[in-house]
Amino acid sequence: MCMICFTEALSAAPAIQLSCKHVFHAHCCRSVLSKKWPGSRITFSFSRCPICKAELRNEFLDDLSIPIRELFEDVKRKALMRLEYEGLHQTEAISLPGNPFFQNAEGYAMERYAYYVCFRCNKAYYGGEARCEEGLAVEGVGGGGDSFNPSELVCGGCSDVSRAQMCHRHGADYLEYKCRYCCSVAVFFCFGTTHFCNACHEDYRHVTEMPKHALPKCPAGPRGRQLDGDECPLHLVHPPTGEEFALGCGMCRNAHTF
C-alpha cells in the first residue's frame, strides 16, 4: 500500500524509492510536492517522508524538490538571524535538556516565526510569530485559514507604499509594515494601498467599514478589538489606527539600532 494515497497497492502504478529507502507511487510524491503547504504560512511537513520524516529525495523529483529545498534554506537563514537578533539563541527552549527543541535552534526558530512567500519577488518574508496566528485560530477569530489570494501576499519591500527609507545594512529584505487596523505585523497587501495582518485580512469587510472614530486605539487587537493597558504589542509609537505605517527594517528594529 502506498502510504501517501492510502488507496492503491504500490504495484498499481509506477513507484520510486526515496533516499530514505521508503517506496511510494511516483505520481503521489510529485502531487504532494506540487501542492506544497496548506494555507498561507510556509511549512515544510508536506516535503517529508510520511514514515520517517526524511526529505522526499529522488532524481525524478528534483525539478520540484530543489526549489523547495532552496526555500527551506532561505527561511531557515532568516529565522535563525531573527532568533539571534532577538537574543533568543540561548533560550531555555534550546539550551535546557528535555525540551522538544533542545540543541535545535533551527527547528525552534522555524516553529516560532511565520514566513510567507511574496507573490511579486517570490522570496520568503516575516509575518509575525506563529503562536499569534495559532492563538487566533483557536479563539475562532481568524488566522491560518485556507481561503486567501496568493497575489495579496506581498513583502514590505514590494509593497512599500510609504517609500520607507531602505536599511543600509539589510536593504529591503526585512522591511516590515504595521497592519493598518491593529498593532500587528502585516502579512497581506491589498487594493494596492492597504496592509493587513492575518486576522484583519480574514475579516477585512468589518475593519475597513468601521468609521475611523470607532477604530480601536493603541494597543489595538485584530478585528477591531480594543486591548487592555497602554503598552503597544509592537513596542513603539506609531500613527493612529487606520493609517499606513512602515515599521522599518525588522532586523534592526529587533536590535534597536535603526
166-215, pLDDT tens digit by residue?
677 776 667 889 999 999 999 998 887 899 999 999 999 999 999 999 99
Active site residue 200: no
Helices (H), 36-155: 62-85, 92-95, 105-112, 130-139
* Per-residue pLDDT at 145 exceeds 60: no
Q: For residue 113, what are the β-bridge partners?
A: 129
Q: What is the mean pLDDT of residues 125-145?
A: 58
Residue 144, pLDDT > 60, answer no
The model scores a pTM over 0.85: no
Rounded Cα distance, 92 and 101, in Å: 9
Residues 198, 166: contact at Cβ < 8 Å? no
pLDDT number for residue 104:
95
Q: Cis peptide before 219, with omega less than 30 degrees from 0?
A: yes
- Measured CA to CA, the distance from residue 160 to residue 137 in angstroms comes to 28
Q: 163 falls in which pLDDT band (50, 70, 90)?
A: low
pLDDT band, residue 15 (cuts 50/70/90): very high
226: CB partners within 8 A, 6+ apart = 216, 217, 220
Question: What integer best gives the mean pLDDT of the chain?
Answer: 87
Considering the candidates 28, 49, 132, 200, report the single residue annotated as catalytic. Answer: 132
Provide mean pLDDT across the span 108-134: 86
| pLDDT tens per residue, range 36-82 | 999 889 999 999 999 999 999 999 999 999 999 999 999 999 999 98
The closest alpha carbon to 194, from 237, 242, 148, belongs to 242
| Residue 143 clears pLDDT 60, i.e. is over it | no
Is 94's pLDDT higher than 50?
yes
190 carries an active-site annotation: yes
Mean per-residue pLDDT for 15-42?
Answer: 96
Which residue would you say has higher pLDDT here, 234 or 160?
234
Given 5, 158, 190, 232, the catalytic residue: 190
Rounded Cα distance, 219 and 4, in Å: 46
Give me the mean pLDDT over the 217-223 stretch. 96
